[in-house]
Amino acid sequence: MSEEVPLSDMRFLAHEELREGQREMISDGINALKENGFLLANAPTGIGKTAAALSAALTISRSRIGQKNPVLFMTGRQTQHRIVVDTVRKINQRLNPNEEKIRLVDMIGQKDMCIHPHASEHDIGFSRLCANLRSKRKCKPFLEDSPGLRLRVLQDPLHVDELVNISKTHQEGHIVQPTCPWKVARECASSADVVVCDYNHLFNENVRDSSLKAMGLNMDEMILVLDEAHNLPERIRMGLRRRLTADLIRDAVFELEEHRESGLNSEETVQNRTCEAALKRYRMRIVQWIKDQKSNLGKAQGRQDEQEMRVEPSLILSMLRQEFEGDISGEKIAFSELIALLESVNAISNEDEDETACYRLATVLSILSRFEKSSALCVVLTARRDSVWITTHLLDPAIIGKEIFNSVRGGILMSGTLTPPRMYAENLGIDEERGILAADYPSPFMADRRPVIITSDVSTLWGRRGEENTRMIRNHLHSLLQNTPGHVAIFCPSYAMLKEIIGEGNWPGRLLLMEESNWSKKRVEGAISEMRGARIRGTKVILAGVYGGRLSEGLDYSGNLLDAVACIGIPNAPKSVQNDSLKKYIEKQSGSNNAWRYGVFQPAINRILQAMGRAIRKAEDRAFILLLDDRLLKPNYKKCLPPTFTPFTASDPSRTARQVKRFFERHPEPAIDEN
């Protein structure tokens, strides 16, 4: 660790007393940011990492006299926004009277902040509706200029929902003047010390180009705080995951025709017709090529529900270039001009899409062109029954991340499962020369309040599955359930396994709430409400979900709502062309040992750690954790667990029962909810 910063130099503290590990994290953050470097913090729940990160970032930001270094606090979870705002409020309450208050702007998606009456009627087409209303000056809240509301936002931190509510009834003088809260938040961002927003504002290139300029923010001035940073590599990959289909090309041609008929000058009309004709031929060529490949796949892989193969980006693009008969790279129409034309089309042929088919086609062609000669892009042809599509998969998020992290002033990346921190530094392209401080902080939870047992007699390894193994897993679960006084969450690697083990099991005395793949955010919130009501009535609930689903990540079960968590199996990524390509890419970049750890074992273990963490949200909580797969005791997986992880083992269900019973005799009551 770096040299410890004296407590007197930590100016922005949310609490009078610092928790175990919190002071160390603040000190590390200050030292890293002082040198314009990065702290990668594997900080367990309960350490107070939000307060620690803000304290360090604001200490550095405010210490640079004459410089503007706004803190961009980014998170993929809307629930975390409220925690950030509440923390800044506490910091402001404790500030020296001579210290200017911290100004904060909290913003989420444009649709979720909209107060226009039509917003709730357009779940999918909202962006298109909003852009149309604004361009035609028909959105009155957006047209309003409300300086008083901007002053209110910067005067004292507001939760985004508070800003939305105030915006609906805002008055300028004695006149009620409803004002667009999304517009107000963007206008205030340049004057704020802290801006709370989603990863997309920085790590999605299209969003970044438009949003940062509109907010008056410059990357080279920013200090980043990235919460739940373990999700960032996948979020970056998702930003470049696009599909190319024959139907997409067809729809793009329709839109080009409509665009041409709307009235263009003669030169534009010629260009438009050239592109229409070329894309029609391209579609025919793609359709025939896909038909040939699908036939070859069927012969090679047999009759399967889904078949796939990797294809080279240059092959997809060469078919397009051939249809332009050389014009695509000549004087008439360059590839960049084709992309620009597609992006300029406003007509939309599919009412279920926010983006035009032309724009989506332009995006996928741009990705293919950008990575045409790079091994970092895996392009996969997938055939499922009568459907066929081509998908782009970015294998290396560092290609995108490096540009961002090289541009900003420094940052703090944190998560309860940012393990190992150095792996994430490498995955995200953070340059060693900038200065990287990677740290694991101790858990504030006493082992006595969160014991972990790994069963040594069951596994979900394919070769060991069967009726007897399933029976033993259920017996361990019964041992847990029968001795647990309250709600229990159970997580599985897949919905199929969830249905097999839990859905087809018998769970006397328990209300079963089992996640389905189509559960919405509203349905999840409903399940949490059901659990709270059930606890009041004395009804015990099994909440069953999958790793990486809505129930196992990014959801707070506050008030010690869960008495126990059971994690069945290990959620290794299924065999696929993309996953095989990822492992080979990592092996080439970082060696064969890291290929298995970074590409297979560690991501699976981190999903288990995320699921385990649902039960413990603050230091006072107590919960029993049961891990049902003996592979977690093997070296390949064991080394991926946090260094502070000290589990017990259970060789049979009776031992599980004794351990659970003993735990709840010591801790019969859940922690009191401070809220």
Cβ neighbours of residue 19 closer than 8 Å, sequence gap 6 or more: 46, 47, 48, 444, 619
Strands 387-394 and 377-384: antiparallel
Report pLDDT for 658: 97
245-262, pLDDT tens digit by residue?
999 999 999 999 988 887
Q: What is the DSSP letter of 15?
A: S
Nearest to 553 by CA among 615, 623, 614, 625: 614
**How many Cα atoms sit within 13 Å of 252 on the Cβ side?**
31
Residue 76 and residue 234 in contact, taking contact as beta carbons nearer than 8 Å? no
Nearest to 416 by CA among 78, 645, 122: 645
Residue 237 and residue 393 in contact, taking contact as beta carbons nearer than 8 Å? yes
Which neighbouring-strand residues pair with 512?
Answer: 542
| Helix, strand or coil, per DSSP, at residue 331 | coil
Q: Mean pLDDT over all residues of the chain? A: 89
Rounded mean pLDDT, 586-613: 90
Nearest to 442 by CA among 3, 50, 1, 21: 21
Q: Which domains does the chain have, with CATH numbers?
A: 243-394 (1.10.275), 447-666 (3.40.50.300)
Q: How far is CA 397 from the centre of its chain?
A: 13
pLDDT band at 110 (very low <50, low <70, confident <90, very high): confident
The Cα-based distances of 190 to 60, 69, 101, 103, 660 in angstroms read 18, 10, 16, 10, 53
290-316, pLDDT tens digit by residue?
888 877 776 555 556 678 999 999 999
Compute the distance between CA of residue 563 and CA of residue 560 in angstroms, rounded to an integer: 7
399-412, pLDDT tens digit by residue?
999 999 999 999 99
Question: Is cis: bond before 420, omega within 30 of 0?
Answer: yes
Q: What is the DSSP letter of 571?
A: -
Q: What contacts 24+ positions apart, CB below 8 Å, involve 458-464?
A: 458/628, 458/629, 458/630, 459/569, 459/629, 459/630, 459/631, 460/493, 460/497, 460/568, 460/569, 460/570, 460/628, 460/629, 461/629, 461/631
Please report where in the chains the tokens 């095989």 appear, as a residue. Answer: 580
Please report where in the chains the tokens 């009456």 appear, as a residue. Answer: 117
Q: What is the DSSP letter of 178?
A: -
Q: What is the pTM of this model?
A: 0.89
For residue 222, the tally of other CB atoms under 10 A from its CB is 23
610-657, pLDDT tens digit by residue?
999 888 877 788 999 999 999 999 999 999 988 778 899 999 999 999
185-237, pLDDT tens digit by residue?
999 999 999 999 999 999 988 888 888 988 999 999 999 999 999 999 999 99
84-109, pLDDT tens digit by residue?
999 999 999 999 888 899 999 999 98
320-355, pLDDT tens digit by residue?
888 876 554 444 567 888 898 998 887 655 555 668
The number of helices, as runs of H, and strands, as runs of E, in the chain is 27, 20
Report pLDDT for 385: 77
| Helix, strand or coil, per DSSP, at residue 52 | helix
Report pLDDT for 608: 95
